[in-house]
Amino acid sequence: MKSNEKVDVIVVGGGNAALCAALAAREAGARVRLFERAPESQRGGNSGYAGGNWRVVYDGLKDIQKLVPDLSAEEIANTDFGSYSEEQFFDDMARVTQFRTNPDLCEVIVKDSLETLAWMRTKGVRFLPYYGRQSFKVGNRIKFWGGVIITVSGGGIGLVDSLFATAVKEGVDVRYDSRVTRLLHDANGVHGVEVAHGRQREQHHAGAVVLACGGFSANAEWRTRYLGKGWDLAKVRGSRFNTGDGLSMAIEAGAQSCGHWSGCHAVQWERYSTDYGEVALRTAFQRHSYPYGLMVNAEGKRFVDEGADLRPYTYAKYGHVVLDQPGQFAWQIYDAKVEKLLREEYRGRHVTKATSDTLEGLVEKMEGVDKAQLLKTLHEYNAAVEGKGEFNPTTKDGLRTRGLAIPKSNWAQKLDTPPFQAFAVTCGVTFTFGGIKISPEAEALDVLDAPIPGLYAAGEIVGGIFYFNYPGGSGLTSGAVFGRAAGTNAAEYAKSRAA
């Protein structure tokens, strides 16, 4: 294929949504060219930094075996896989977005989730049950919790490596170090893109274009402009290349802005992490075990209900809460009773940590905190723990405090078993929620809700799906579902346009 030869479909981006779009378009018979802004060594967008977990509708073991056909007899015997219905997925999406999620788009994600993951398996993606981080042994069987049961082998890197390998094998023309700067469009729609290679620019023409190049999480100016004061100080969990280029060019071509532009997915992150994501340290900076401990700010006070809900339903919004604290940091505190529940990243080298055999000694080692107030906070918490019921990390167990201004509604246990540990955290932004409006067929819509001929979108560039928060694992599912739809429909449109 010649460098500037016209193709049927151009895909902009190199993550989960973009690769699903490229593979679906290729499967539909289209000639496909994919432009990835990053060099090959940093390819994959935010997907490369993801944990690789998926929220998917399934009805027991038989559906899990569609995704993981090589489950052993021992795994089947020792695991309670449960189920996760369409109604549960709908309810979770509605509840955590405060009932703002676009119902038509949400329906597509929910209903197509299992089929899309099964299709991805035919494209070289290897799925696994999410043992370890998303399951605990209850009685004699392993039980999953929080609606997330499936992960991908190798995490986000494994996902994008598998999809890139299949894309190349199936004939997708992949171009790295290619920053798409503009859509080529006129009164008849979108016809291609302008691409920058350093200072050199060239035009590439196509029957249809799919934008799957992320939001603006790595653009400090835009974060401050849209998310608000202080967001320029947040760490970036993922790709440094997600600076809003796709949004700018889509809106310039007439696409309608949509969704929660002042909202984002933001988590608790190592306080002294690198400014941008490092592929080699993909999950080393995350701190997601907070439901089983306490969080305090620089004033030595608790500021949030750590046990308000299961982690997959709170972790994507609690980073924002930490960013709002004095100094934009907090400490997570645990005792030895829950040490075995702490995720592996708490035991790595990349941690800011304090330990002691006494609460007084721990407080003395915690940097930047009002120590007298903190000790008072810890004693007040211990006195308020009811201690009625059985601790159960797989469900909201109702172990709570009484009489505190900020309660702990579940998993409340006294901090009374040494050694005690504390971990310093700040805010890490994952992806932004604002984007452009699409139809259920992944067509980009203009300000009158009419499809822009030849333009499709998928992934984090799409607005209207997530508001305020997000159910863990639904981002990758959304990207894959709409990526596949965008690629298939772009290929069909390109054929009709050529005819």
Domain ranges (residues) in the chain: 7-216+433-498, 266-428
Give the range among 146-150, 245-249, 370-374, 418-422 with minimum mean pLDDT. Answer: 146-150
374 residue type, one letter: L
Where residue 134 falls among pLDDT bands split at 50, 70, 90?
Answer: confident
- Residues 6+ away with beta carbon under 8 Å from 267: 237, 286, 287, 288, 315, 316, 318, 319, 427, 428, 430
Q: Residue 201: its pLDDT value, please?
A: 93
Q: Please write the tens of the pLDDT for every residue from 382-424.
A: 999 998 889 999 899 999 999 999 999 999 999 999 999 999 9
Query: What is the band of 225 on the pLDDT scale with cuts at 50, 70, 90?
Result: very high
What is the number of helices (H) and of strands (E) in the chain?
A: 12, 22
CB atoms within 10 A of CB 332: 24
pLDDT exceeds cutoff 90 at 138? no
For 248-266, what is the mean pLDDT? 98
The answer to pTM > 0.85 is yes
Q: What is the pLDDT of residue 419?
A: 98
* Residue 176 binned pLDDT confidence (cut-offs 50, 70, 90): very high
288-311 average pLDDT score: 97
When pLDDT is cut at 50, 70 and 90, the band that residue 496 belongs to is very high
Q: Over pLDDT 70: what percentage of the chain?
A: 99
- Of 72-81, 108-117, 144-153, the range with the lowest mean pLDDT is 144-153
SS3 282: coil
User: Residue 1: which pLDDT band, with cuts at 50, 70 and 90?
Assistant: low
Tokens matching residue 290: 């907070």
* Angstrom distance (rounded) from CA 309 to CA 319: 15
Cα distance between residue 453 and residue 436, in whole Å: 15
The reported pLDDT for the residue numbered 444 is: 98
Provide the 10 A C-beta neighbour count for residue 51.
19
Give the pLDDT band of residue 2 (cuts 50, 70, 90): low
Percent of the chain surpassing pLDDT 90: 90
| Beta strand 420-432 pairing with 264-270 | antiparallel
Residue 437, pLDDT score: 98
> What was the pLDDT predicted at 57?
97
pLDDT digits (tens, 9 = 90+) for 61-85: 999 999 999 999 999 999 999 999 9
CA 3 to chain centre: 34
- For residue 133, pLDDT over 80 is answered with no
Tell whether the model's pLDDT for residue 322 goes beyond 70.
yes
Q: Would you tell me which CATH number, out of the four given (3.90.580.10, 3.40.630.10, 3.50.50.60, 1.10.630.10), belongs to the domain 7-216+433-498?
A: 3.50.50.60
In terms of average pLDDT, the best of 146-150, 309-313, 372-376 is: 372-376
Give the list of residues 6+ apart from residue 237 with CB closer than 8 angstroms, or none. Answer: 46, 49, 217, 267, 269, 277, 285, 286, 428, 429, 430
Which architecture, in CATH terms, is 266-428? Alpha-Beta Complex (3.90)
Averaged pLDDT for residues 107-121 = 98
Q: What is the mean pLDDT of the chain?
A: 95
Token digits for 123? Answer: 């494209």
| Mean pLDDT across 173-180 | 97
Q: Which of 83-97, 124-138, 189-203, 374-388 is predicted with the least confidence, judged by mean pLDDT?
A: 124-138
Q: Specify the residue for token string 């997907």.
A: 47
* Whole-number pLDDT of residue 349: 87
Measuring CA to CA, which residue among 495, 461, 421, 497 is closest to residue 25?
A: 495
pLDDT of residue 4: 80
Scan for tokens 């889509």, then name that residue.
250
Distances (CA, A) of 259 to 113, 212, 448: 22, 16, 16
Question: ∠ CA 238-125-459 to the nearest 5 degrees?
Answer: 45
- Those residues with Cβ within 8 angstroms of residue 257's Cβ, 6 or more apart along the chain or in another chain: 247, 251, 434, 435, 436, 437, 463
Label residue 281 by pLDDT band (50, 70, 90).
confident
